[in-house]
Each structure stands twice: as C-alpha cells, then as structure tokens.
Amino acid sequence: MSEAGDIASLAPGPIEGVEYPLKVLYCGQCTMPLEYCDYSGQTELCRAWATQNVPDLLEGLNIDDSKGGDEKKHQTRGGKGSKPVKEKKKASGGVQKVTVQREPRGKKSVTVIKGLATFEIDLKVAAKFFAQKFACGSSVTGNDEIVIQGDVKDDLFDLIPGKWAQVTEEHIDDLGDKKR
C-alpha cells in the first residue's frame, strides 16, 4: 500500500451528519465532560447538578454510583510507602526527658535525639533546624527520634534549651556512646 493511502485511512476528515465545531458540555460540579462524571468520584453531586441544570441531557446519560462494592478501593503503587507516624502522648505524671546519644555508624558517628515530641516540638521542624545549624544531614527516623549526622552531642545541651524554652538543661540526659 502506498504512503498516501495510509495517511488517508488515518485522517478520515469530517463525518457526515456531525456539526463542527463540536460543542461539549462540562459538569458544573466536577468540571469534566458530562460523560466522564462517573470517574470524578463525585457522582452524587454531579447527578444533583445535572438534574438541576441540564435535565434533558441526564436522560441519555448514565452516571453510575455502584462500582461493585460499597467501599472504595485505593490504588497501590509498589514500594514500601510511608506508614503514618503515631505520636507519643505526654505521660500523665511521668517525667519528660530528652535523651542524647552518640551512635557509631561504620567509621563515622551520628547523634540520636529522643523525647522532643513529649514537649510538643515538631520533629520535622527540629530536624531541619539541626541540619541548618550544624551544616549536616538530619532526619526524623522513628516515632520520637531525630538522627543528626556527626558528633554534635555537646552542642545540643546549649542549643535545645535556647531554641525551645520548655526544654531546660535538666530535662536533657546524656546517654553517652552506644556500644557496637
């Protein structure tokens, strides 16, 4: 078949009986074309909007609520994903403590801080503050744990009470070096 014949089969041109340009009506609720309201996740609201605004088009339109089950199925996309972090609640009557410990990691070491969440300190903000202050990597690794790259344990005893007034030096415990 020739190249001109292939192109002609791909582009048929205007279809007889169809007025051009095409006019597409969009849903006022989900902003999708009316035929796609099924996929918007707001089918009840779309149906209510369509019955109020374009009842004549609703007769030929099938907006279906039943997707096979009552509960929605969420798509999963591989990988570990992030599990929601459960924050520790303040121990009623218990003593609030922040622990600081140096931990070896290969030839280098990291500083681990635990207990800041009991003082209602946002761990992500604290980790970012430590990373900027010490010009190193810092991350939230557990429920109530921040890991700072490098041995910055001694500097934390002055820095934490200076930044967060609710934590005094008496609240900070030095656990020393963790053995391998």
CATH code for position 115? 3.30.780.10
More confident site: 8 or 39: 39
CB 138 within 8 A of CB 131: yes
Q: Same domain, yes or no, for 115 and 159?
A: yes
Q: In the numeric block, which tokens belong to residue 133?
A: 């202050």
pLDDT at residue 59 above 70?
A: no
Which structural domain, as residue segments, surrounds residue 56? Answer: 18-66
Q: What number of CA atoms fall less than 13 Å from residue 156's CA on the CB side?
A: 29
User: Does residue 73 form part of some domain?
Assistant: no
User: Would 123 be classed as within a structural domain?
Assistant: yes
Q: Is 84 inside any structural domain? A: no
If asked whether residues 113 and 170 sit together in one domain, one would say: yes
Beta strands in the chain (DSSP E): 98-105, 108-114, 138-142, 145-149, 172-177
Residue 10 within a domain: no
Question: 104 and 150 share a domain?
Answer: yes
Flag whether 83 is in a domain.
Answer: no
pLDDT of amino acid 5: 54
The predicted structure's pLDDT at residue 18? 83
Are 61 and 107 in the same domain?
A: no
Q: Is 91 a member of any domain?
A: no
How many independent structural domains does the chain possess?
Answer: 2
Q: Is the pTM of this model over 0.75?
A: no
Compute φ and ψ for 106, nearest 5 degrees: 70, -130
User: Is residue 60 over pLDDT 70?
Assistant: no
In a domain, 53, yes or no: yes
pLDDT tens for residues 142-172? Answer: 888 999 999 999 899 889 999 998 888 888 9
